[in-house]
Chain A
Amino acid sequence: MRSLIGPDGPVALAEGVHWIGALDPDLRSFDVIVRTANGTSYNAYAVRGSGGVAIIDTVKAEFAGAFFARLEAVARYDEIRFIVLNHLEPDHTGALPELLRRAPQAQVLLSPRGLPLLRALLRDDFGRYDIRPVTTGETASLGDCALEFFTTPYVHWPDTQCTWFARQRILFTCDLFGSHFCDARLFNDEAGDFRLAFEHYFDRIMRPFRSFVTEALDLLEPLDFALIAPSHGPILRTNPRDYLQRTRALAKARLGAGPEKALLVIYVSAYGATAGLAQAIHDGAEQEPGVRAALFDLEGAEIAPLLDLIEAADGIALGSPTINGDAVRRIWDLMAALAEIELRGKLGAAFGSYGWSGEAVRMIETRLQGLKLRLPEPGLRVRLHPSAEELAEGQDFGRRLAAHLCGRAPARVLDAPEAAAG
């Protein structure tokens, strides 16, 4: 098992650049949401120039010992000029408070959006240190060489950035291009097959922010990098550009979008009442030119493939009867899973049948609003099976949703009290 035995000391990536991270082979789940069959690593780096040393990211707190031992093998604490925080999640800032105690003279470099997180992390000590927010194009001089920063928000959290070391053509990307794959051989050409880990990492960590990932790739692609140094998993020194291209492909919606606006009408129904309403909404939406509607009974559908479809769609209308004062479990399961995909700008709507209290529709609306969908139409509720009139109302509801998707909806004018009741 040579692959799991850690390198004892730091590992050189290039002249003046060392890996000083830590291996975590036993981790089996990360951030609650990622399974990590192969463990992970927390890659941190040291970059030396004539004017001092920069430390790029740290490690998870429980691995601080290994990190400091490797750091001490390449630099003295008083040589540390900069500490670069590409991302403030605890898996990369666990050793930061102690590093700052040991190197209080160091200037901390991070994106502006990292500031509130750093304040929360350092609490009362925040004011004691030299903290400098940086944005794209700003640099930090190490004497005969420099680091340059690229603000790349949401390649996990709002604070994420990348750091470019032009002298050795190394791009430090933190979570971007990472994989949870622990292999002491460190480099992509020596490590075991980590393709599954790379793809799974993207799916769980980056997919909800896929348009931000694409923006980051656009920003980084012109750089003539020879090596990508991410903060998890293998260091990408052989064909690094392949990983950028693969990530670009992963960041596209799994299913392509057609020329028409897509509205998905998804429902569950015990006695067919909500189903009837769903059909009417679907039929109404289909009447609007330029809109393609599709109808799904969630009882017969798997959620994962449906997410692929929702990712590529422009709007969703979710229907549930009220059962025991609640929306039904399948709908909640789907709504829970919606956090796994990007929903920016999508339209949402809710509908359902009820007997006496009818809470489900409002609950769906609240959840969809919490996910930041826009809900241009107040939810549609009918008592028991919809009448012919209510079915016509359902069709009209569908037509209006479709019109909103096409930007053709007539402007709605409300008075505040009316809006409050809606």
Chain B
Amino acid sequence: MEKATLTFTDVATTVTVPAGTRIIEMSEKVGSGITYGCREGECGTCLTHVIEGAENLSEPSALELRVLAENMAGRKDRLACQCRILGGAAKVRPG
């Protein structure tokens, strides 16, 4: 299976994951402050700031784009419950 790595800077942790993993699936397991909320891309609670590797993440869906806009998120912000890492590496922290 293709691998990718996710780094959560708030807990100084890097984790190797199967490509296609949603950020939220790992952030909670490693204890990062990127947590919870509705898991359905509605609440914006899992807002995540992408420090590096934005190009390795899945394209935001229309739903994610709408919630990001409503939360006045910056260009480097994503929703951890929607966003998947497709390969390579990405570095994130709570938004």
Say yes or no: B29 contacts A112, CB within 8 Å: no
Which residues of the other chain, A, contact B69 by a CB distance below 8 angstroms?
112
Inter-chain CA distance A183–B14, complex, in Å, is 57
Inter-chain CA distance A151–B72, complex, in Å, is 10
B17 to nearest A CB, angstroms? 5
Checking A116, A374, A404, A416 against B15 with a beta-carbon cut-off of 8 angstroms, the contacting residue is A416
Say yes or no: A375 contacts B31, CB within 8 Å: yes
- Mark interface residues in B68-88 (1 if CB within 8 Å of A CB, else 0): 011110000000000000000
Checking A112, A151, A411 against B13 with a beta-carbon cut-off of 8 angstroms, the contacting residue is A411
Which residues of the other chain, B, contact A365 by a CB distance below 8 angstroms?
31
Which residues of the other chain, A, contact B33 by a CB distance below 8 angstroms?
345, 372-374
Interface residues in B28-49 (C-beta closer than 8 Å to A): 28-33, 35-36, 42, 44
Interface size on A, residues (CB 8 A): 32
Say yes or no: B31 contacts A376, CB within 8 Å: yes
A215 to nearest B CB, angstroms? 13
Which residues of the other chain, A, contact B32 by a CB distance below 8 angstroms?
374
Say yes or no: A411 contacts B14, CB within 8 Å: yes
A128 at the interface (CB under 8 A from B): no
Inter-chain CA distance A151–B70, complex, in Å, is 12
Which residues of the other chain, B, contact A116 by a CB distance below 8 angstroms?
42, 67, 70
Which residues of the other chain, B, contact A158 by a CB distance below 8 angstroms?
44, 71
Say yes or no: A412 contacts B17, CB within 8 Å: no
Inter-chain CA distance A375–B18, complex, in Å, is 23
Say yes or no: B71 contacts A419, CB within 8 Å: no
Which residues of the other chain, B, contact A375 by a CB distance below 8 angstroms?
11, 31
Say yes or no: B72 contacts A115, CB within 8 Å: no
Say yes or no: B31 contacts A377, CB within 8 Å: yes
Interface residues in B1-60 (C-beta closer than 8 Å to A): 10-18, 21, 26, 28-33, 35-36, 42, 44
Which residues of the other chain, B, contact A422 by a CB distance below 8 angstroms?
29-30
A29 at the interface (CB under 8 A from B): no
Interface centre among B12, B35, B44 (most CB of A within 10 A): B12
Say yes or no: A369 contacts B15, CB within 8 Å: no
Say yes or no: B15 contacts A414, CB within 8 Å: yes
Say yes or no: B12 contacts A411, CB within 8 Å: yes
Checking A151, A373, A412 against B12 with a beta-carbon cut-off of 8 angstroms, the contacting residue is A412
Say yes or no: A412 contacts B36, CB within 8 Å: no
Checking A115, A404, A409 against B70 with a beta-carbon cut-off of 8 angstroms, the contacting residue is A115
Say yes or no: A420 contacts B12, CB within 8 Å: no
Interface residues in A353-386 (C-beta closer than 8 Å to B): 365, 369-370, 372-378
Which residues of the other chain, B, contact A115 by a CB distance below 8 angstroms?
70
Inter-chain CA distance A372–B42, complex, in Å, is 18
Which residues of the other chain, A, contact B70 by a CB distance below 8 angstroms?
112-113, 115-116, 133
Inter-chain CA distance A419–B70, complex, in Å, is 33
Say yes or no: B29 contacts A420, CB within 8 Å: yes
Which residues of the other chain, B, contact A412 by a CB distance below 8 angstroms?
11-14
Say yes or no: B11 contacts A404, CB within 8 Å: yes
Which residues of the other chain, B, contact A376 by a CB distance below 8 angstroms?
10-13, 31
Which residues of the other chain, B, contact A377 by a CB distance below 8 angstroms?
31
- Mark interface residues in A84-127 (1 if CB within 8 Å of B CB, else 0): 00000000000000000000000000001101100000000000
Interface centre among A370, A413, A419, A420 (most CB of B within 10 A): A419
A387 to nearest B CB, angstroms? 26
Which residues of the other chain, A, contact B42 by a CB distance below 8 angstroms?
116
Which residues of the other chain, B, contact A413 by a CB distance below 8 angstroms?
13-16
Inter-chain CA distance A416–B42, complex, in Å, is 27
Say yes or no: B17 contacts A416, CB within 8 Å: yes
A135 at the interface (CB under 8 A from B): yes
Inter-chain CA distance A374–B72, complex, in Å, is 24
Inter-chain CA distance A109–B73, complex, in Å, is 20
A222 at the interface (CB under 8 A from B): no
Query: Chain A residue with minimal CB distance to B33?
Result: A374
Say yes or no: A369 contacts B30, CB within 8 Å: no
Interface centre among A112, A151, A365, A416 (most CB of B within 10 A): A416
Which residues of the other chain, B, contact A133 by a CB distance below 8 angstroms?
70
Contact A410 to B15, CB < 8 A, known contacts A115-B70, A116-B70, A369-B31: no
Say yes or no: B14 contacts A414, CB within 8 Å: yes
Query: Chain A residue with minimal CB distance to B45?
Result: A372
A242 at the interface (CB under 8 A from B): no
Which residues of the other chain, A, contact B11 by a CB distance below 8 angstroms?
374-376, 404, 412
Interface residues in A291-344 (C-beta closer than 8 Å to B): none
- 3 closest Cβ pairs, A-B complex: A375-B31, A376-B11, A374-B33
Residues of B bordering A, CB below 8 Å: 10-18, 21, 26, 28-33, 35-36, 42, 44, 67, 69-72, 94
7 contacts between A and B (CB under 8 A): A133-B70, A345-B33, A369-B35, A374-B33, A376-B12, A412-B13, A414-B16
